[in-house]
C-alpha cells in the first residue's frame, strides 16, 4: 500500500538544510519526475537539470511521522499482520482476510477508498503473491493493481514494466541502461549465471523478483501501546454537532488501535479544552469492556448533551484504558445485566440530570446516625456477583425445601402451612415512611425542668397540625462526640388526636422535626 501526497505534478522531496539546495539530496520523487529520469540520491541541481519544471520541497519529519501513523492505522483496519516497509509504504498479509478470497479487486478498491477517506489525495494499492511483487503492483496501480498468481500470466504481465519500478541502485541502473535492459522482461531473459558473475547479488535478487520467485518474511509491526488521541481545532466549537463529529473520529482511531492489539476499552478519559485555557476532565467506566466505537460514543454522547462550559471549546482528547477481553459463559442459575452498555447509558443520562453525586449505590457509614450513607459509583462486576449469589441462594433454598418435603411430608393443611410461614416471615412493628428531608415543625410541650420530661402536646406548624393524644418516648441517641460535628437527638412516637395516625418526631439542637409516618 503506497500513498502519494501531491498528484499530477513532477516533484521531489529534499533532505537537508533549508536554503542550501546544492547539498540537499533528493529522497523521494513522484511518478512524473521519474518519467524525466529524476532519481533518488541526486542533488537538487541534478534534478532540475533533468526536469526544469521540477517542484522541490523540503521534508517535514513531524508531518511524515503523522502521515505514516495514519497509514499504519489504515492497514490495521484490514489485518493485524502488516509491515512498516518504508515511508509511505505498508505491506499487508491478507491470507486471513475473507474478502481477499472472494473478490480481490473489490477489496483493492475498498482499500483505495479508505485511504482517500483518511485524507490521502492519492493512494495506490497492489495485491500479489509475494511482498515484493505487491510493491511492484502498487507502483503500477492507478489506483489499484492485482497481479495474477499463474506463473506464465505473471511473467507476461511483468514484461513491459520499467526497471525503475523495482528501485535498483544507481550503479546497477546505469549498467543495465548501457546494456539496453530497460524493462523487467529483458532482465528476466538474461542468463542467470552471467548476471551473478557480472552484476552481483543485487541483480540476482531483482531477476528472481521479475520472474515471481523472490519471497521474504514480513517484519510485522508491534501494535501501538498508546491508545489516546487528541485534536486541536483552528476554530471555536460552540455547538454539540461538530463536537460529536470530531469525537466520533477520535473514537474510531483509538478503537482501531485497540482491536489491532486484541484489547478492549475498560474506561475512557475525556478531556475538553476551552479557549480560555480551562480544561474539563471526566472518567467514564465501561460496564462491559468493548472496542466498538458506537457503544463508547453513546456513553459519551449521553453526558455531552447536558455539558455546558463558560467558553467555546478548542481541543478534544480521549484516552482508553486497555484491558483483556474475557468471554463469559452464562449458566442456568445465573443472573446478570442484560445489556450493560444500555445500563451505563441510562446511568450517564441520570448523572447528567441529577449530578454524579446523586446516582450510585448507597453505602452505609459506620455510624448510628439516621440516613448516614454515601453514594458510591456502580460496580458492575459486584452487581452481577450479587445477582448471581442471590439466584444461587434462591435455587439452593428451593432444592432444600423440595428435599425436606420428600423426607418429611407435612400432615398440616396447605393453607394453614402457608399462613404460618407468612406469619413467621413478617417483621415485627409497623412500617414507617420516612420524610427526606425531615419537615421543620413547631411543637408545644409540657413545662418541665429537663428536656427529657418536656413531653409534646400539640404540633402548631407544618403539614400535620393538631393536638396529640398519646406520646411514647423519648429515646435518646447521639454520636460522633469526638468530632466538632457531634450530634444528639430525642425521638418521640406520637398519635394525632383527630386522625389517629402515628408519627415519628424528634428534637435536636436546631429544633423539632417530623421524621416519618407509621402505617
More confident residue, 393 or 278: 278
Partnered with residue 490 across adjacent β-strands are: 476, 507
pLDDT at 415: 41
More confident residue, 166 or 8: 166
Q: What is the pLDDT of residues 401-443, one digit of tens each?
A: 666 655 555 444 444 454 455 544 555 678 888 888 899 999 9
Alpha helix positions (H), 283-379: 293-304, 340-354
Q: Are residues 9 and 73 in the same domain?
A: no
Q: What is the pLDDT of residues 443-494, one digit of tens each?
A: 998 887 776 778 899 999 888 899 998 888 888 888 887 878 788 889 999 9
Assigned domain for 215 exists: no
Q: Are residues 160 and 79 in the same domain?
A: yes
Mean pLDDT throughout 3-19? Answer: 67
328: containing domain: 228-346
Q: What is the pLDDT of residues 125-135, one digit of tens each?
A: 988 888 888 88
Q: Are residues 419 and 436 in the same domain?
A: no
Whole-angstrom distance, CA of residue 140 vs CA of residue 127: 11
Distances, alpha carbon 285 to alpha carbons 290, 306, 323, 507, in Å:
11, 18, 12, 43
Comparing CA positions, the residue from 201, 382, 370 lying closest to residue 287 is: 382
Q: What is the pLDDT of residues 483-498, one digit of tens each?
A: 787 888 899 999 998 8
Q: Are residues 242 and 288 in the same domain?
A: yes
Q: What's the total number of domains in the chain?
A: 5
Q: Are residues 96 and 203 in the same domain?
A: yes
Assigned domain for 275 exists: yes
**pLDDT greater than 80 at residue 166:** no
Q: What is the pLDDT of residues 189-232, one digit of tens each?
A: 888 888 888 888 888 888 887 776 767 788 887 766 778 888 88
Mean pLDDT throughout 222-249? Answer: 84
Q: Are residues 398 and 485 in the same domain?
A: no
Mean pLDDT throughout 300-315? Answer: 85
Lowest mean pLDDT among 105-119, 216-230, 232-246, 307-321: 216-230
**pLDDT greater than 50 at residue 33:** yes
Query: Are 120 and 5 within 8 A, CB to CB?
Result: yes
Task: Write down the residue that cell numbers 501526497 correspond to.
Answer: 5
Assigned domain for 373 exists: no
Mean of pLDDT over the chain: 79
Strands 487-496, 144-146: pairing is unpaired
Comparing CA positions, the residue from 64, 49, 59 lying closest to residue 27 is: 59
Assigned domain for 119 exists: yes
pLDDT at 5: 44
Q: What is the pLDDT of residues 355-384, one digit of tens each?
A: 777 787 888 888 888 878 888 776 655 555
Assigned domain for 360 exists: no
Q: Are residues 93 and 17 in the same domain?
A: no
* Ramachandran bin of 124, using left for φ above 0, alpha for ψ from -120 to 50, beta for the remaining angles: beta
pLDDT at 400: 65
Q: What is the pLDDT of residues 311-326, one digit of tens each?
A: 889 999 999 988 877 6
Assigned domain for 36 exists: yes
CA pseudo-torsion sign 175, 178, 180, 182:
positive
Assigned domain for 28 exists: yes
Comparing CA positions, the residue from 325, 326, 339, 349 lying closest to residue 384 is: 339
pLDDT at 1: 42
pLDDT at 348: 72
Task: Give me 122's grid cell.
Answer: 492519492
Q: Are residues 54 and 72 in the same domain?
A: no
What percent of the chain is predicted at pLDDT more than 90?
9
Q: Are residues 71 and 197 in the same domain?
A: yes
pLDDT at 427: 55
Q: Are residues 84 and 173 in the same domain?
A: yes
Q: Are residues 73 and 94 in the same domain?
A: yes
**pLDDT greater than 70 at residue 332:** no
Task: Write down the residue that cell numbers 450493560 correspond to.
Answer: 340
Mean pLDDT throughout 40-59? Answer: 84
Comparing CA positions, the residue from 240, 230, 305 lying closest to residue 270 is: 230
Got the DSSP string for 382-398? HHHHHHHHHHHHHHHHH
What HEC string does 473-489 produce?
EEEEEEECCCCCCCEEE
Whole-angstrom distance, CA of residue 417 vs CA of residue 438: 42
Assigned domain for 121 exists: yes
Amino acid at each position: 500500500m503506497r500513498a502519494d501526497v501531491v498528484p499530477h505534478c513532477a516533484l521531489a522531496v529534499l533532505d537537508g538544510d533549508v536554503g542550501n539546495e546544492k547539498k540537499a539530496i533528493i529522497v523521494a520523487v513522484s511518478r512524473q519526475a521519474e518519467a524525466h529520469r529524476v532519481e533518488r540520491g541526486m542533488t537538487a541541481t541534478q534534478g532540475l537539470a533533468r526536469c526544469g519544471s521540477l517542484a522541490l520541497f523540503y521534508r517535514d519529519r513531524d508531518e511524515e511521522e503523522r502521515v505514516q501513523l495514519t497509514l499504519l492505522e489504515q492497514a490495521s483496519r484490514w489485518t493485524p499482520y502488516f509491515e512498516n516497509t518504508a515511508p509511505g509504504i505498508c505491506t499487508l498479509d491478507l491470507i486471513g482476510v475473507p474478502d481477499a478470497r472472494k473478490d480481490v479487486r473489490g477489496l483493492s478498491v475498498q482499500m483505495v477508498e479508505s485511504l482517500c477517506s483518511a485524507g490521502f489525495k492519492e493512494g495506490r494499492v497492489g495485491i500479489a503473491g509475494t511482498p515484493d511483487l505487491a510493491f511492484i503492483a502498487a507502483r503500477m496501480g492507478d489506483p489499484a493493481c492485482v497481479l495474477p498468481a499463474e506463473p506464465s500470466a505473471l511473467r507476461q504481465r511483468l514484461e513491459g514494466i520499467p526497471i525503475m519500478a523495482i528501485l535498483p541502485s544507481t550503479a546497477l541502473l546505469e549498467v543495465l541502461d548501457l546494456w539496453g535492459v530497460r524493462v523487467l522482461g529483458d532482465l528476466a531473459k538474461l542468463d542467470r549465471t552471467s548476471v551473478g558473475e557480472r552484476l552481483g547479488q543485487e541483480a540476482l535478487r531483482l531477476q528472481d523478483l521479475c520472474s515471481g520467485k523472490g519471497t521474504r518474511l514480513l517484519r510485522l509491526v508491534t501494535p501501538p501501546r498508546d491508545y489516546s488521541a487528541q485534536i486541536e481545532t483552528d476554530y471555536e466549537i460552540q455547538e454539540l454537532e461538530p463536537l460529536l463529529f470530531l469525537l466520533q473520529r477520535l473514537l474510531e482511531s483509538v478503537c482501531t488501535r485497540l482491536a489491532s492489539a486484541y484489547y478492549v476499552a475498560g474506561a475512557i478519559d475525556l478531556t475538553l479544552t476551552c479557549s480560555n485555557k480551562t480544561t474539563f476532565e471526566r472518567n467514564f467506566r465501561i460496564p462491559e469492556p468493548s472496542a466498538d466505537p458506537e457503544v463508547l460514543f453513546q456513553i459519551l454522547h449521553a453526558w455531552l448533551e447536558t455539558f455546558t462550559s463558560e467558553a467555546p471549546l478548542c481541543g478534544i482528547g480521549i484516552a482508553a484504558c486497555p484491558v483483556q477481553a474475557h468471554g463469559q459463559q452464562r449458566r442456568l442459575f445465573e443472573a446478570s445485566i442484560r445489556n450493560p452498555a444500555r445500563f451505563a447509558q441510562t446511568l450517564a443520562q441520570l448523572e447528567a440530570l441529577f449530578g454524579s453525586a446523586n446516582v450510585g449505590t448507597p453505602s452505609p457509614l459506620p455510624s448510628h446516625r439516621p440516613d448516614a450513607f454515601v453514594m458510591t459509583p456502580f460496580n458492575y462486576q459486584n452487581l452481577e456477583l450479587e445477582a448471581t449469589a442471590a439466584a444461587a441462594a434462591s435455587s439452593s433454598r428451593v432444592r432444600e425445601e423440595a428435599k425436606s418435603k420428600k423426607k418429611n411430608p407435612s400432615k398440616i393443611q396447605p393453607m394453614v402451612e402457608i399462613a404460618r410461614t407468612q406469619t413467621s416471615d413478617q417483621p415485627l412493628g409497623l412500617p414507617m415512611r420516612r420524610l427526606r428531608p425531615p419537615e421543620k415543625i413547631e411543637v408545644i410541650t409540657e413545662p418541665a425542668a429537663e428536656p427529657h420530661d418536656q413531653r409534646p402536646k400539640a404540633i402548631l406548624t407544618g403539614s400535620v397540625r393538631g393536638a396529640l393524644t398519646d406520646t411514647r418516648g423519648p429515646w435518646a441517641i447521639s454520636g460522633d462526640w469526638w468530632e466538632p460535628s457531634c450530634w444528639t437527638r430525642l425521638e418521640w412516637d406520637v398519635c394525632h388526636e383527630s386522625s389517629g395516625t402515628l408519627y415519628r418526631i424528634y428534637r435536636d439542637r436546631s429544633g423539632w422535626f417530623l421524621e416519618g409516618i407509621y402505617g
